[in-house]
């Protein structure tokens, strides 16, 4: 399985993306509920901004991998 075609990579990448986002959301909600909730508007706003953007680098790596062209 050294050479996956783009359809296989996109299928695997889709599953990885959905799975990662589901787990990330649960972890972020738990972390925010335990450590951030009730600390004040500034901390909550900063957390929401950070948590809302923190998943992007991981998903960008997955999308970059699954969008590679097929080997010749």
Quick check: is 60 in a domain? yes
> Which pLDDT tens digit goes with each residue over 26-64?
999 999 999 999 999 999 999 999 999 999 999 999 999
7 is a domain residue: no
What per-residue confidence (pLDDT) applies to 26? 98
Domain with 38 in it: 25-66
| Contacts for 27-34: CB closer than 8 Å, 24+ residues apart | 28/54
Position 36 in a domain: yes
> pLDDT > 70: what percent of the chain?
96
Is 53 part of a structural domain of the chain?
A: yes
Give a yes or no: residue 47 inside a domain: yes
Q: Report whether pLDDT(69) > 80.
A: yes
Domain membership of residue 52 (yes or no) is yes
Number of compact structural domains in the chain: 1
DSSP summary character for residue 35 = I
Considering only CA atoms, give the Rg of the chain: 17
């Amino acid at each position: 399985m050294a050479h996956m075609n783009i359809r296989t990579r996109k299928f695997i990448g889709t599953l990885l993306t959905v799975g990662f986002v589901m787990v990330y959301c649960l972890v972020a909600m738990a972390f925010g509920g335990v450590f951030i909730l009730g600390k004040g508007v500034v901390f909550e706003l900063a957390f929401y901004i950070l948590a809302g953007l923190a998943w992007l680098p991981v998903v960008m790596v997955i999308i970059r991998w699954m969008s590679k062209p097929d080997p010749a």
